[in-house]
Structure formats: C-alpha cells, structure tokens
Amino acid sequence: MNEKRMRTFLEIIYNCPFILLVIFTSIIFSLLFDETGKRKSGHETAVSQMVVEGETAGTEADDLLKKNGITTENIFGKDGESGEKTADQPRQEEKIIQNAGKRKGKDDKIENDSERKIDIEKNGNAGKTGKTEKRATEFVEYEPIATDSRYYSDAGKIALTTTYDYVKENESYFNDAAFLGDSRTLGISDYAGLDGADFFCDNGMTIYKLLGDDGVTYQKTGEKVDMKEILQEKRYGKIYIMLGMNELGYGDTPMYLRQYLKVIRQIQEWQPGVIIYVMANLHVSLEKNNMETEFNNININDKNVASARLANGKDVFYLDCNPLFTDEEGYLQADLTFDGVHLYAQHYDKWRDFLFEHGVEKDGKDTSQ
C-alpha cells in the first residue's frame, strides 16, 4: 500500500514540473534569505555603490575616507542599514519623539552626553605616560529607531569630542584662525570676543555653498569674498568649520558627508599643515524639534555623526559643545535660547571657554606661533 502511494506521488511530481520548480525555489530562498526576507549577504555592496556613485567629488571623498580608515561599514553599520522603516520595525511616534532628544546607551540607561565624555576621558584612554592616546572620535551607541525620511536616518550613536591631549589656550591662539559657518558661527563672531580670528559666515550658509562662486561674508569688512581665493592667498594655522543646519532638508546624509570630505580635502591642499576643527551642530529645543519635518535632533545628530567620521586625531578634530547647552534629554535648554535654535548673547562665553580648552599643539609648539 505504501509503495503504491509512493509511486502515485512520484508520478504526480514527474507530470507536474511546476511543483518541482516551487520546491527548488523554496530551497534556494532558504539558503539566501533569512526569516525576515532580508538577503543574508551582499547588502553592503549596494550601500557602497550609493556612497561612491556620481560626480568626481564622490571618488575623491572615498580616497580620504580610506586614508582615515573609514569604511562603508563604519558609516552605515555592519549590514549597511540606512534606517528605513521595515515591516518588523513599525514607526512608533512616542519613541521617535523620545529619541529626538534622548540617546539610549548600551546599558539601556539615558545619560547626559557630558557624563559620558567625562567617563571616557577619565577611564578610557590613559596610557602608561598618563597622557591621552591620540585617536579618532569615540562613539557611544544607543538603540536607533526607524525613520521614513529620505534625508536622514537615526545614526544609533553619538560622536564625542575627539580624544586628545588638548592644551588650554587664550585669545592669542586664534590670531591665525578662520571660522567658516552659518548663523551659529555668526553668534561666535559677535559675542565670543575672538577678535583676532577671521570669520567667514552667513545666515543660510551650507557646505555646498562654502567654496562656491557666490562667496561668503568676511565679518571684519562686511563684504562678500571668494573663499577659494582667501584659502589660497592667506595662510591659517587652524580652521574651524560648523555647517549642517541648513542642509537638514537638502540631500541626504551620505551626500552631505561626501561634500564635507571634498571641502576638507580641498582646504588641506590649499593650507598644508593646517589644523581643522569640525564643530558639531547644536541641538534644538524641545519646542523647536519637529518630527513632522527634517528639522529635528535625530537629523542633526545624523549629520554630526557623519562629520565626526572625518576626525583622525592628528590634524582633523571633532568638537562637540552640545553638553554645555543641552538638558539631560539632549534638547537645547529653553532658557538659553530665544528661538529654540540660537543662544542668547551672554551664553557665548561658555562656547569661547570650550574652544580655549581644546587647543592643539603640533610638534610641541603652539600652532599659533
């Protein structure tokens, strides 16, 4: 009886090649895909193509990424995840709003960014000589949330100020410094008292326009200047860059990173030996944080994490002053800002002191000499 059933089953399969096709396809699918339908390999290749495709700027940027030891895996995660919403990651409004300000650590405790920095500086990087090891930027990971924006994803980590044996400086350190940026940099120019530095900044300035033909306002004269000419004609010892707020809804984060890389590489070519400080963008207040648009702290953090990748602890450093001005949930403190984005004039002294405390010396000499 069993033999008859087996013969009948084999005859059905033999006469129905479609069944064979289904069985064969099922076997192949189980080998190549996991239970969620994601492919088990090859995803990172697609992400790599997204990063390097396009104009020559992308190729040049990749060269600098490799020089600094940065890979696609470093930027987007091990599996090349971009943070897009999937079937197993439904969007949860309460969690999104929470993560817009808070950052979840490995131990599932929400901590203040400054506390994390203090812990790392005290315990994480001390060598035998007692000096801090020069290294690239440290990142503190947290559980990211899914986003459905084409402009950004939740980075799943926070970039801390680059670990280094910084030297406390004074106003003279900035006599050969240039600050390049947007309205926040204008605030430093107006209220931080760094009169010896050159400030090139405008409301609405972006990393895409910085070296463009329209020019940037030189704050000492109020006139537009061509940054390409300035950077080739005048020698600076250090250059501070803070851009990214006006880029929140223009292009995505990989595009922003490519352009930032291009700008830094061009500056290094025109200014050999210069120290470059990549300054983090300030978070916005809870009231200003808008998850219905691109103007929110998740997006700001995504841009900050991307630009922090450029730091190498040698001639490019990432500085994050957010812990000075944000509350324990990561929002810009409401009593420090008049519009949820910019600081009141009297609070720029904290920013100035932060810059004083993060001077970099080269070969045992002050870079301002």
| 134 pLDDT tier (thresholds 50, 70, 90) | very low
Q: Is the pLDDT of residue 185 over 80?
A: yes
| 136 pLDDT tier (thresholds 50, 70, 90) | confident
14: left (phi over 0), alpha (psi -120 to 50) or beta: alpha
User: Max alpha carbon distance in the chain (Å)?
Assistant: 101
What pLDDT shows up at residue 137? 87
What pLDDT shows up at residue 53? 36
Q: What is the amino acid identity at position 129? A: T
Q: Kindly state the tokens that stand for 369.
A: 């000499």
What pLDDT shows up at residue 79? 35
| 285 pLDDT tier (thresholds 50, 70, 90) | very high
| DSSP states of 139-195 | EEE-----B--SS----SEEEPPPP---B---GGGGTTEEEEESHHHHHHHHHS--T
Mean residue pLDDT across the chain:
77
Q: Is the pLDDT of residue 122 over 70?
A: no
249-283: pLDDT as tens digits: 999 999 999 999 999 999 999 999 999 999 999 99
Instruction: Tell me the backbone φ, ψ of residue 331, rounded to 5 degrees.
Output: -90, 145
What pLDDT shows up at residue 250? 94
What pLDDT shows up at residue 166? 96
Quote the CA–CA distance of 318 and 311 in Å, as a whole number.
6
Higher-confidence residue of 11 and 143: namely 143
Q: Is the pLDDT of residue 366 over 50?
A: no
197-254: pLDDT as tens digits: 999 999 999 999 999 999 999 999 999 999 999 999 999 999 999 999 999 999 999 9
Question: What average pLDDT score do residues 122-132 get?
Answer: 37
What pLDDT shows up at residue 368? 40
Instruction: Tell me the backbone φ, ψ of residue 358, rounded to 5 degrees.
Output: -125, 55
Tell me whether residue 275 is exposed, middle or buried, using C-beta atoms within 10 angstroms of its C-beta: 0 to 12, 13 to 18, 19 or more.
buried
| 362 pLDDT tier (thresholds 50, 70, 90) | confident
Question: What average pLDDT score do residues 303-314 get?
Answer: 97
127: left (phi over 0), alpha (psi -120 to 50) or beta: beta
Q: What is the pTM of this model?
A: 0.70
Question: What average pLDDT score do residues 77-102 get?
Answer: 46
What pLDDT shows up at residue 67? 54
How is residue 54 annotated by DSSP?
A: S
Quote the CA–CA distance of 236 and 17 in Å, as a whole number.
74
How many Cα atoms within 13 Å fall on the side-chain side of residue 3? 0
Q: What is the amino acid identity at position 205? A: M
321-351: pLDDT as tens digits: 999 999 999 999 999 999 999 999 999 999 9
Quote the CA–CA distance of 180 and 264 in Å, as a whole number.
12
35-72: pLDDT as tens digits: 444 444 333 333 333 333 333 444 445 555 555 555 43
Q: Is the pLDDT of residue 353 over 70?
A: yes
Percent of the chain with pLDDT over 90: 60
| DSSP states of 55-97 | SHHHHHHHHHHHHTT--HHHHH-TT----B--TTS---HHHHH
What pLDDT shows up at residue 21? 61
DSSP bridge partners of 239:
178, 276
Q: What is the amino acid identity at position 350? A: K
